[in-house]
Chain A
Amino acid sequence: MAQPIITVRQLSKTYRVPERDAGLLASIKSLARRTYNDVQAVRDINFSLEAGEIVGFIGPNGAGKTTTLKMLCGLLHPTSGEAEVAGYIPWQRSGVYLRRISMVMGNKSQMMWDIPPLDTFRVLGEIYHVPAAEFKQTLDELVELLDMGELLTRPVRNLSLGERMKCEMVAALIHRPSVLFLDEPTLGLDVSTQRRLRRFVADYNRRRGATVILTSHYMADVVELCPRVILIHQGSLLYDGALSGLVERLAPFKLIRLTLNQEQAPTIDGHLPPNVEVLERENGRLVLRAGRAETPAITSRLLDTLPVVDLVVEDPPIEAVIDQIYQEAKV
């Protein structure tokens, strides 16, 4: 088996956060004596990634995703534990290490506002010491993949959010990093731009064999891009594996959507199998929930006994599954 490119062992991070009550008196008191509260953002997480993997890092707000990414790209020192990325300890921030990674933060920009993107890219090329020929080749390739040639010479301040995010991607990849951290890269983008960026990340991963860790609250990003997900909640790792496995484990049921012949629909009540739950019912349309194992038997019984016009069996929406985990904090 190949050597993992990212190894994380018992990684923990505790923040010390100053605390005080609201009001003037409390603020005066805090001048004299500050009280602190320890907040454990990441607790003893373990995982490893093979080179070339795309992994979705999911969890609700405040779960510890960004803290983990910041430790992996060297911005934060862990409180305890170890991590190794591409053979380096990230928080030592060696120049060689920083040249091998890149991070895109959906809510932060590395573009210079007043000058065209091409100028920012050139500066980055110099900062990362990219040879001229390689710079041109990479830029052409990225610009073509993102179809953004016409944006290169317009000042960044005049670009839309989606156009700017395309620029952020190019800026992050101009030095051909082998590990890419994407922290909510599709934040606030319209669906078609989101889809375009997803395709781009997948293409880039295929072409360059880069390892990608992606955090996103849009499940479409995760479903389309990440064969594997790591789920963290309240700082702890809850699940590490295929997304489909998560759905099966969490939602041991299927949804059956039925459309019935309108005229006979009102008379169906006695014919529904006892082991289904009616989730929705409107005119002749029903949504039923049934146990995964019983679903085949139930569908054939429904087809036999009811005036079925249309029947669809599907997995519950991933959003519902994720919501369930976020609410219950367990897998």
Chain B
Amino acid sequence: MNHRGGWALVRSTWLSWMQHRSFFFVLAFGWMIPPLVYLLVWSTAAGSQAINGFTRGEFVAYYLVLILVNQLTYAQTNWTVGDVIREGKISQMLLYPMSPLYNTLSSEFAGKVVYMTFAVPVTAVLAVLLHPELHTTPGHVLAFIPALIFAWALRFFWGYWLALLAFWATRADALLAVQDTLVFLLAGQVAPTLLLPGALRGLANVLPFRYMVGFPVEVLTGQLNGSALWVGFAAQVGWLMIAVLLYKWMWRTGLRRYSAIGG
């Protein structure tokens, strides 16, 4: 492990990304649109009543938190991993006495800071305009922090192992698009998972995608208590362990292949 080098990379990548902040602001704005559309759809639909216990203000709170969680957990860097492998740029990284994972993590961390400088103020303005109703307790906030960290790690490593398929197939990033679609459907973006119809909700609870976005949002907005919370954490950590194992295995076998066929 070479944390010293990794940290230096984070700082320089951040400096480098700040040169293009307007580009990243546009990206962040784009990611904000779908949840914003669903915020307006659901809050309008709710009107002055509640839908399955969700009031208008609760929908607003749910989607504003989701906008932030979605941007904090979205591993956009994974889209570039395939190019780095395909174009042989990974050779340069392999020459360093440091895992190439640090390169990806550095853009992850640097990116988050850049996106947040856009997303946080915009969400704050929306909160002032749209009057969210947030029923959260210090306990929920405390539980939200690990839920968010695990959600990021799960979304990152799940995307990373898919991206590493580029060692074998040239356009493996198509699978990242599939992951994005499944996250959109099953991770609480179209609708909070609690509002999904029975079979779909069952699927959302079993598959990893809800634990990448929806779960921490549900935790902070106070929708989960007691056993539902613990079951959620168990599923999240379980999927995270699977994702990390898959990443490690893909990396090892992928690298073996890369060094056999040449970069």
Name A's B-contacting residues (CB within 8 A): 15-16, 67, 70, 73-77, 91, 93, 95-96, 98-99, 101-103, 105, 108, 110, 112-115, 119-120, 122-123, 125-129, 155
Chain B positions 207 through 232: 1 when the CB is less than 8 Å from some CB of chain A, otherwise 0: 00000000000000000000000000
14 new A-B contacts, CB < 8 A, other than A16-B261, A77-B256, are A76-B260, A76-B262, A95-B98, A99-B97, A105-B92, A110-B92, A114-B15, A114-B19, A114-B20, A119-B12, A123-B5, A123-B11, A126-B7, A129-B5
A120 and B95: CB pair below 8 A? Answer: no
Q: What residues of A have a CB within 8 angstroms of the CB of B15 in the complex? A: 114-115, 119
Q: How many residues of B contact A (CB 8 A)?
A: 29
Candidates B2, B16, B95; contact of A73 at CB < 8 Å: B95
| A125 CA / B73 CA spacing, docked (Å) | 31
Pairs across A and B, CB under 8 Å, 22 listed: A16-B261, A70-B91, A75-B95, A75-B259, A91-B259, A93-B94, A95-B97, A96-B97, A98-B97, A108-B92, A110-B92, A112-B12, A114-B17, A114-B19, A123-B8, A126-B8, A127-B4, A127-B8, A127-B97, A128-B5, A129-B2, A129-B5
Please classify the interface of chain B as helix (H, G, I), strand (E, B), loop, or mixed, using the class held by over half of its residues.
helix
For residue A98, which residue of chain B has the nearest CB? B97
| Contact present for A108 and B91 (CB under 8 Å) | yes
Across the two chains, which residue of chain A brings its CB closest to B11? A123
9 tightest Cβ-Cβ pairs between the two chains A and B:
A127-B5, A126-B8, A95-B97, A98-B97, A114-B16, A114-B19, A77-B259, A123-B8, A123-B12
Counting residue pairs across A and B whose Cβ atoms lie within 8 Å, the total is 87
Which residue of A is nearest B89, CB measured? A108
Complex contact B259–A120 (CB within 8 A): no
| Complex CA distance for A20 and B8, rounded to whole angstroms | 45
Q: Does B166 contact A (CB under 8 A)?
A: no
Interface pair B89/A129, CB less than 8 Å apart: no
- Cross-chain contact A127 with B16 (CB below 8 angstroms): no
Contacts of A129 in B (CB 8 A): 2, 4-5
Q: Are A98 and B96 in contact (CB under 8 A)?
A: yes
Contact A126 B19 (CB under 8 A): no
Cross-interface CB contact of A126 among B4, B91, B256, B263, cutoff 8 Å: B4
B131-158 interface code vs A (CB 8 A; 1 in, 0 out): 0000000000000000000000000000
A86 to chain B minimum Cβ distance, whole angstroms, is 14
Q: B12 to A15, Cβ gap below 8 A?
A: no
Query: Does B9 count as interface, using CB distance less than 8 angstroms?
Result: yes
Give the interface centre of A16, A101, A126 by most chain B CB atoms within 10 Å.
Answer: A126
